[in-house]
């Protein structure tokens, strides 16, 4: 189950956690390096809550205007953090808090709102207006307000340093195997199911359409063997076998935005109003234009058989 998430100013946030250990960062992708930070966070919590403070936007998007594509949308990131074992997530509006003096951030967020006992930050972490805050400031203010501060690296227990940048590079190259190595799970995408033109249903292969957020990185266009999880509010279903097309459907249209068309191999109920989380396991082929519906239908049948073979040998 996802853990509680809060936004700045939420009246339920003050007092929600009793002397938590807090880690501050973007946590984009929630990769294996982040999982090591969370493991350290839980050690420092020593039975108290372990809480992540993250941001609604990538800092580079705000500070320089050239932020990278995110590996996970905000809802997806919060869910992944919950699965990783944290007790709560606080989402801050970066455009606002980046204008605060560093001491104000410490007082309002870490001390008054959260009552932190530990504060963990990444290597060379800077915060506050003009990036004036650093580990030394946290240590000084921690001595005044009763919390300890620590700098941690995105390094796994095997000594490998992992970065979101490395995951993005592998994803852009279509190297799903390398993505999975860095993330500790298959690369994924989560979005609400959108209404489509029912073309897949008329071909005999109903699909759930997911709009692709241009701010979030996705695999290159093509057809993928995948697994998909139905998400209904706080409830998360099991992973189901699927075949997914990522692209523009060039047989019928060239001008529409890219989307992900998810065909659940075991069938399923009406998914409108729900969300799907897709795990991409293997690219089966690239995007192609076909000479009409019959040729496309025959290829989809071959894609489904290829996906079934791939999924039968893939770890659950």
Domain match, 13 and 146 both: yes
Give CA–CA dist 287/294, Å, rounded: 17
Instruction: Look at residues 127, 152, 177 and tell me which one is the last residue of a structural domain.
Output: 152
Tell me, yes or no, whether 167 lies in a domain: no
301 and 213 in one domain? yes
Q: Is the pLDDT of residue 277 over 70?
A: yes
For the whole prediction, is pTM greater than 0.85?
Answer: yes
Q: For the packed helices 164-172 and 176-183, what is the interaxial angle rounded to 10 degrees?
A: 160
How high is the pLDDT of residue 290? 83
Among residues 152, 173, 199, which one ends one of the domains? 152
Domains: count for the chain: 2
Predicted pLDDT of residue 227: 97
Q: Give the mean model confidence (pLDDT) for residues 15-36.
A: 96
Domain span at residue 236? 186-313
| 141 in the same domain as 52 | yes
- Please check whether residues 146 and 9 belong to one and the same domain: yes
| pLDDT given for residue 293 in this prediction | 79
**Do 98 and 218 sit in the same domain of this protein?**
no
203 has a pLDDT exceeding 70:
no
With beta carbons less than 8 A apart as the criterion, state whether 50 and 85 touch: yes
Give residue-wise pLDDT tens across range 160-197: 788 999 999 999 999 999 999 999 999 999 999 998 76
What confidence category does residue 220 fall into, taking pLDDT thresholds of 50, 70 and 90?
A: very high
| pLDDT average, residue stretch 88-94 | 97
Residue 64 covered by a domain: yes
List CB contacts of 311: < 8 A, sequence separation 6 or more: 225, 227, 241, 265, 281
Task: Tell me the pLDDT band of 252, cut-offs 50, 70 and 90.
Answer: low
Could you tell me if residue 162 is inside a domain?
no
Residue 171 located in a structural domain: no
**Given a cut of 60, is residue 226 above it in pLDDT?**
yes
Conformation bin of residue 92: beta by default, left when phi > 0, alpha when psi is -120 to 50: beta
Q: For 127-162, how does the pLDDT look when each residue is reduced to its tens digit (9 = 90+)? A: 999 999 999 999 999 999 999 999 998 776 667 788
Structure confidence by residue, pLDDT tens digits, 96-133: 999 999 999 999 999 999 999 999 999 889 999 999 99
CATH of the domain at 119: 3.40.50.620
Pair (192, 303) in one structural domain: yes
Mean pLDDT of 301-310: 94
Q: Name the pLDDT band for 296 (thresholds 50, 70, 90).
A: confident
Q: What pLDDT is recorded for position 254?
A: 59
Determine the pLDDT at residue 248.
83
Least confident stretch, 7-11, 239-243, 286-290:
286-290
Q: What is the pLDDT of residue 204?
A: 67
Tens digits of residue pLDDT in 50-78: 999 999 999 999 999 989 999 999 999 99
Q: Are residues 225 and 272 in the same domain?
A: yes
| DSSP codes, the chain | -PPPEEETT-TTSTTSSSS-EEEES--TT--HHHHHHHHHHHHHHTTS-EEEEEESS-HHHHHTS-PPPBSS-HHHHHHHHHHTT-SEEEEE-HHHHTTS-HHHHIIIIIIIIT--SEEEEETT--BSGGG-B-HHHHHHHHHHHT-EEEEE-SB-TTS-B--HHHHHHHHHTT-HHHHHHHHSS--EEEEEEE----HHHHHT---EEEEPPTTB--PPSEEEEEEEEEEETTEEEEEEEEEEEEE--TTT-SSSPPEEEEEETT-----TTSEEEEEEEEEEE-----SSHHHHHHHHHHHHHHHHHHHHHS--
Looking at residue 195, its pLDDT comes to 83
Contact 128, 101 (CB under 8 A): yes
Query: Where among 152, 172, 194 does a domain terminate?
Result: 152
């Amino acid at each position: 189950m996802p853990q509680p998430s809060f936004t700045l100013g939420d009246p339920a946030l003050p007092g929600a956690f009793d002397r938590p250990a807090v880690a501050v960062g973007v946590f984009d992708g929630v990769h294996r390096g982040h999982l090591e930070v969370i493991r350290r966070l839980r050690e420092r919590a020593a039975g108290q809550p372990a809480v992540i403070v993250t941001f609604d936007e990538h800092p580079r998007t705000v500070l320089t205007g050239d932020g990278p594509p995110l590996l996970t949308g905000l809802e997806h990131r919060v869910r992944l953090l919950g699965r990783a074992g944290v007790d709560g997530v606080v989402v801050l509006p970066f455009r606002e808090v980046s204008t605060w003096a560093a001491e104000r951030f410490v007082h309002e967020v870490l001390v008054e709102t959260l009552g932190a006992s530990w504060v963990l930050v990444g290597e060379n972490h800077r915060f506050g207006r003009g990036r004036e805050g650093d580990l030394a400031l946290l240590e000084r203010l921690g001595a005044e307000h009763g919390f300890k501060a620590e700098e941690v690296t995105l390094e796994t227990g095997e000594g490998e340093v992992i970065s979101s940048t490395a995951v993005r590079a592998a994803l852009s190259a279509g190297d799903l195997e390398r993505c999975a190595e860095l993330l500790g799970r298959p690369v994924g995408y989560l979005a609400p199911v959108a209404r489509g033109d029912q073309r897949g249903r008329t071909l005999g292969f109903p699909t759930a359409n997911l709009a692709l957020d241009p701010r979030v990185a996705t695999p290159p266009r093509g057809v993928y063997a995948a697994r998909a999880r139905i998400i209904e509010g706080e409830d998360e279903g099991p992973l189901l076998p699927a075949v997914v097309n990522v692209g523009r459907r060039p047989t019928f249209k060239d001008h529409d935005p890219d989307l992900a068309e998810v065909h659940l191999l075991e069938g399923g109920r009406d998914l409108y109003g729900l969300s799907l989380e897709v795990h991409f396991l293997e690219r089966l082929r690239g995007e192609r234009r076909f000479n009409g519906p019959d040729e496309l239908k025959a290829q989809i049948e071959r894609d489904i058989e290829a996906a079934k073979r791939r999924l039968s040998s893939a770890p659950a």
